[in-house]
Amino acid sequence: MIAFIARRLLQAIPTLWLVATATFILLRVAPGGPFDDEKPVAPEIKAQIEAHYGLNEPIPVQYVQFFANVLRGDLGPSYKYAGWDVQEIIGQSFPVSLELGLWALLVALLIGIPIGTLAALRHKQRSETALMGLAMVGICLPSFVLGPILVLIFSLQLEWFNPIGWATASDRVLPVLTLSLLYAAYIARLARGGMLDVLRQDYIRTARAKGLSAAMVVYRHALRTALLPVVTYTGPAAAGLISGSFVVETIFFLPGLGPFFVNAALNRDYTMVMGTVLFYAVLIILFNLIVDLLQLWMQPRTRHD
């Protein structure tokens, strides 16, 4: 197991290098710069600012300097948030994005797995069509459409929740629902497909022949194997929920990392964009590693191989 983890971590090094290199090139190729404001700045002042941040150096020199700083754990200062380092901004704002993503993942699993399992148990019945139709609605409604609809209904009309903010527990309800329903729909479809495949297996027929109840057959014999596709999807889903919450954080004005990243991309804040992309790339690799370990735990034969 230690060798497996070490091998995966070593494989992540070239992946991170490619992600960082591609992001560096795209930022430099994109038109505009971090100090190209609407109000023009005097050329000599702009030259002094660029010299202060090392942007007057050739592109290859900037590339080497950036990676040298990253290896030392320094993501550099933000060009648009004066007096703030990138790691300070990430450290203060990411806990909100992390909490939002984890709550959304939990809600997606709690909604998707029961719906998918129930749909598989009622295969070829009207209730299956209704359940999977409900899941299809979740897939067809993107977050930037679902969020305003939830605000309109539950905040402006019913006045149950605040439309913005992250101060109380009730403030988390609408953002979490907005972010989780899409992933709950995919999890429901995966759980249904996995359960249908497992219910056709011989050992399930044997368990039924022994007189076990339907609930015992599902929860003790079928569910663990049927959830393997869901577990496989959990890694990318967790990464997507945490790194893809930018739209939701913008809609509900949450103090997460999303607005910082969006503003950095619009303002060509090179260090902020690079630092955020690398940070999320590391998170995605770690989530995928955790999912691989869960799969090994759920499949002893694979672990032995």
pLDDT tens digits for range 12-69 = 888 888 888 888 888 887 777 676 665 566 677 777 777 777 777 788 888 888 888 8
Average pLDDT, stretch 200-205?
Answer: 71
Instruction: Give the model's pLDDT for residue 305.
Output: 53
pLDDT over 60 at 300, yes or no: no
State the burial class of residue 11 (Cβ atoms within 10 Å of its Cβ: 0-12, 13-18, 19+).
Answer: exposed
Cα–Cα distance for residue pair 147/303, rounded to 1 Å: 42
The structural domains of the chain, with segments of one domain joined by +, span 94-267
Instruction: Give the end-to-end CA distance of the chain in Å, rounded to a whole number.
Output: 11
The tokens for 4 are 């497996």
Do residues 227 and 218 make contact, with C-beta atoms less than 8 angstroms apart?
no
**Is 284's pLDDT higher than 60?**
yes
Kindly state the average pLDDT of the residues 100-120.
Answer: 86
Q: Which fold has domain 94-267?
A: MetI-like fold (1.10.3720)
Most confident segment among 3-7, 116-120, 128-132, 209-213: 116-120
Q: Which residues contact 216 (CB under 8 A, 6 or more apart)?
A: 207
For residue 142, how far is the Cα from the chain centroid?
A: 15
Is pLDDT larger for residue 37 or for residue 93?
93
Of 202 and 96, the one with more pLDDT: 96
